[in-house]
Amino acid sequence: MKPGLRQRMSWLHTWCGLVCAWLLCLIFLAGTISVFRAPITRWMTAEPALPPVSAVLGQEAVIAAAARFLQQQDGNARFWRIELPGESGQAMKLVWRSADGSTHEAAMDPRNGAVLPHPWGRKTEGGRHFMTLHYTLYAGNFGFWLVGWLTVGMLVALLSGIVVHKRIFKDFFTFRPGRGQRAWLDGHNASAVLTLPFQLMIAYTGLAIFYTSYMPGPLRAMYGENGHQQWQAELARQAAEPGTATVLPARPALDGRQPARWQAGILMNAAQQALDSEARMVMVERPGQATERISVYMRPDAEASVRQLLSSAGRATFQGATGEFIALQRPDAHASPDVVHEVMDRLHLAAYGGWTIRWLYFVCGLAGTLMMATGAVLFTLKRRNKSDSEFGAYTPMFYRLAESLNVAAIAGACLACIAYFHANRLIPAALSGREEWEIKAFFAVWAVSLLHALVRPVQRAWVEQFACTAVLCLGLPVVNVLTTGQHGLNYALAGNWQAACVESVVLVMGGVFAVLTWRLRDGAWAQPKPGRISATARGYRWQVLGRGACAIVGGYVFAMLAAMALAQGMAALGLASRSIVVVYVTLLSFLVYALAAMWVFAARWAWAGLLAAVVVSGVFSWQLAAP
């Protein structure tokens, strides 16, 4: 390792940023796109216009018709779900899950309760695909944990970058255009400084949303191995004000000759009056059974979500046999720990501030992706001229692989995203499991982009993949017209501005990729003359691997044990209730983990200090847990 704190942090910033960037570019890009997951889903479903009707029924009658239809389809289902349209011109969606676990869907006209042809539109994951890709990479629990590790790596790269760039704000106003290494460095610095608060917030809140999953130690120290329900129950008790009780409304007037679920429209109106909100969904759990429940979920107040950060939706629950209220959750009912978690959740998901905040997140997300991309490219440009021979005789091979991974992680990810939109239009609407084929098409294109980058010269791979991305972006409206008959003007005339904006943004991005292809066509990444290669000290690679393992594993163990000891100590001293202690200490542990990982690379014997800290924390936690 190099001497000096800034030199060590520079090394950490470089390598941590590079290794994490190969997947973080895709993760960050997917998260950026998922800001508009609802408009994307609406565009991808491509629902046709509702047919003309001669008579319009009331909402109660339409909900009753939906319940009777679901009864005919599967009276013994696990649940029924009636999703009300959010905007005029949309169909009402009916979903039910059979006893064997299979899920079925149908569509109904919300004006008269007529069942619409199946399939109504295209069955698709839509924008939810980018959300799932963002936090699991479609790799199950392994992907979930991998994204968590990479997010901590992003925090480490950001914090070490702050230490390295002592002229960080001066560098923000410096840009030297051209094709040289300095232009990439200036672009990297400018995009980093511009969005630094945003990126720190996004990385931290991304971990905080799943805080007890990534850092379960404090929860288990306070409540045992299976104490999650008890912890949730304590939080729920704290939500109620002392000395007050929830007063439930009277039972709605129902026809006793019919099951309550067939009169879900009356229950929905009663819930809307009790909560002074508009319903978005009616859920019937275990229909026809003794434990049947009917829940009405409300829409969040759109105006309130613009004005304030916390503006959740309410919910009313009825007993299935009698139709009586059994629970009423108002939007303003929060325990203080729940408020903290909800703030983290809404900050990360841009679930506040309306469209203005969503566009701001989108722009900042693109800038953050650009920062990672320019950093990865800058690494390979610098190493062409000077190499530390970190991998011995395999160093040239590694750098060639790194360049190919850069192409796939940046250009290939963009190409796969637009290919996903084309797959939605080209896969037949009536094909069974078509939503899975759309996702398979995404990963197939991404895999092909990696193979292409491995076999083609690096410069040509960049140009060809960006060119393909530009062609697909600019050609998407044409494919849309040919497959569905819909287009931007059609969307605008129908008042479907969300779908119109989706196509408009895709066209703008197509222009951006076309310009990028033009700029790179004449050798922006041409191979320079071989530079000098520095000798690597004996044992260097083992030292790096050892410190890396110590930072990843040792830092996590230390953060976990320190959080457990702190939680037990605070609870023993009576500084706060144990449920609140679990929340705040767990949220603090992520910052401790990032700082511990940085500390391993900050000093010569830091790993020994971390080992000692792990032992001390473990002893304290064990002593505090002793009866």
215-224 confidence digits (pLDDT tens)? 999 999 888 8
Q: Tens digits of per-residue pLDDT, 532-591?
A: 545 555 556 666 777 778 888 888 998 999 999 899 888 888 888 888 889 889 999 999
Is there a single domain that holds both residue 527 and residue 509?
yes
**Cis previous bond, 119, omega within 30:** yes
Q: Tens digits of per-residue pLDDT, 347-382?
A: 999 988 889 999 999 999 999 999 999 888 888 887
Say how far apart CA 271 and CA 624 lie, in whole Å: 48
Q: Could you tell me which residues come within 8 angstroms of residue 400 by beta carbon, excluding any fewer than 6 positions away? A: 458
Which residue blocks in 127-250 are alpha helix, DSSP H?
A: 128-136, 140-164, 168-172, 181-208, 211-214, 217-223, 228-239
Average pLDDT over residues 437-451: 98
- Asked if the structure places residue 613 within a domain, the reply is yes
Report helix, strand or coil for 348: helix
- Asked if the structure places residue 47 within a domain, the reply is no
Between residues 339 and 109, which one has the greater pLDDT? 109
Name beta bridge partners: 94.
82, 106
Is there a single domain that holds both residue 568 and residue 595?
yes
Last residue of a domain, one of 511, 533, 555: 533
Residue pair 385/530 in contact (Cβ under 8 Å)? The answer is: no
Say how far apart CA 225 and CA 422 lie, in whole Å: 47
Between residues 206 and 598, which one has the greater pLDDT? 206
| In the predicted structure, residue 77 carries a pLDDT above the cut 70 | yes
- Asked if the structure places residue 57 within a domain, the reply is yes
Say how far apart CA 280 and CA 297 lie, in whole Å: 6
Average pLDDT over residues 59-77: 92
- Inter-CA distances, 506 with 22, 424, 469, 563, Å: 24, 15, 10, 45
Q: Give me the pLDDT at residue 576, please.
A: 83
Phi, psi of 326 (to 5 degrees): -120, -15
Instruction: Map tokens 């703008």 to a residue.
Output: 508
Q: Could you tell me which residues come within 8 angstroms of residue 491 by beta carbon, excluding any fewer than 6 positions away? A: 497, 499, 500, 503
Q: Give me the pLDDT at residue 531, please.
A: 47
| In the predicted structure, residue 76 carries a pLDDT above the cut 80 | yes
**Enclosing domain of residue 399:** 389-533
Phi, psi of 295 (to 5 degrees): -115, 140
Phi, psi of 94 (to 5 degrees): -115, 130
Q: Could you tell me which residues come within 8 angstroms of residue 38 by beta carbon, excluding any fewer than 6 positions away? A: 127, 498
Is there a single domain that holds both residue 511 and residue 577?
no
Is there a single domain that holds both residue 526 and residue 548?
no
Between residues 132 and 608, which one has the greater pLDDT? 132
Q: Give me the pLDDT at residue 4, please.
A: 74
Between residues 473 and 260, which one has the greater pLDDT? 473
Residue 226 binned pLDDT confidence (cut-offs 50, 70, 90): confident
Is there a single domain that holds both residue 113 and residue 255?
yes
Tokens at residue 116, please? 């619409």
How many domains would you assign to the chain? 3
Report helix, strand or coil for 209: coil
HSE, CB side, 13 Å, CA atoms: give it for residue 269: 13
The whole-chain average pLDDT of the chain stands at 85
- Asked if the structure places residue 226 within a domain, the reply is no
Is there a single domain that holds both residue 506 and residue 410?
yes
DSSP conformation letters of 361-422: HHHHHHHHHHHHHHHHHHHHHHHHHEE--TTGGGHHHHHHHHHHHHHIIIIIHHHHHHHHHH
Name beta bridge partners: 285.
79, 293
| In the predicted structure, residue 335 carries a pLDDT above the cut 60 | no
- Asked if the structure places residue 149 within a domain, the reply is no
- Asked if the structure places residue 297 within a domain, the reply is yes
Is there a single domain that holds both residue 394 and residue 478?
yes
Is there a single domain that holds both residue 398 and residue 529?
yes
Instruction: Map tokens 């929905």 to a residue.
Output: 268
| In the predicted structure, residue 594 carries a pLDDT above the cut 50 | yes
Name beta bridge partners: 96.
80, 104
HSE, CB side, 13 Å, CA atoms: give it for residue 186: 12
Last residue of a domain, one of 305, 332, 359: 332
- How far is CA 627 from its chain centroid? 42
Neighbours of 294 (CB within 10 A): 26
- Asked if the structure places residue 416 within a domain, the reply is yes
Last residue of a domain, one of 488, 513, 533: 533
Question: In this structure, which amino acid lies at residue 464?
Answer: E
Say how far apart CA 204 and CA 156 lie, in whole Å: 11
Is there a single domain that holds both residue 396 and residue 284?
no
For the chain, how far is it from start to end, CA to CA, in angstroms?
45
Q: Could you tell me which residues come within 8 angstroms of residue 31 by beta carbon, excluding any fewer than 6 positions away? A: 130, 131, 134, 202, 365
Q: Give me the pLDDT at residue 251, please.
A: 84
Say how far apart CA 562 and CA 107 lie, in whole Å: 53
Is there a single domain that holds both residue 439 and residue 505?
yes
> What pTM did the predictor assign?
0.89
Select, from the ranges 181-190, 203-212, 606-615, the one with the highest average predicted confidence (pLDDT): 203-212
Average pLDDT over residues 72-90: 90
Residue pair 21/165 in contact (Cβ under 8 Å)? The answer is: no
DSSP-based helix, strand, coil % in the chain, nearest 5? 65, 5, 30
Residue 243 binned pLDDT confidence (cut-offs 50, 70, 90): very low
Sign of the Cα torsion 36, 39, 42, 45 reads negative
Q: Give the gyration radius of the chain's Cα atoms.
A: 28
Percent above pLDDT 90 for the chain:
47
Say how far apart CA 369 and CA 198 lie, in whole Å: 12
| In the predicted structure, residue 607 carries a pLDDT above the cut 90 | no
Is there a single domain that holds both residue 394 and residue 309?
no
- How far is CA 502 from its chain centroid? 19
| In the predicted structure, residue 528 carries a pLDDT above the cut 80 | no
Instruction: Map tokens 């190409």 to a residue.
Output: 415
Name the DSSP class of 333.
-
Say how far apart CA 155 and CA 386 lie, in whole Å: 27
Q: Give me the pLDDT at residue 526, please.
A: 47
Say how far apart CA 266 and CA 58 lie, in whole Å: 11
- Asked if the structure places residue 161 within a domain, the reply is no
Residue 321 binned pLDDT confidence (cut-offs 50, 70, 90): confident
Residue pair 122/430 in contact (Cβ under 8 Å)? The answer is: no
Q: Give me the pLDDT at residue 2, please.
A: 57
Q: Give me the pLDDT at residue 107, please.
A: 94
Q: Give me the pLDDT at residue 111, please.
A: 92
Is there a single domain that holds both residue 513 and residue 585?
no
Nearest in space to 31 (alpha carbons), one of 145, 204, 202:
202
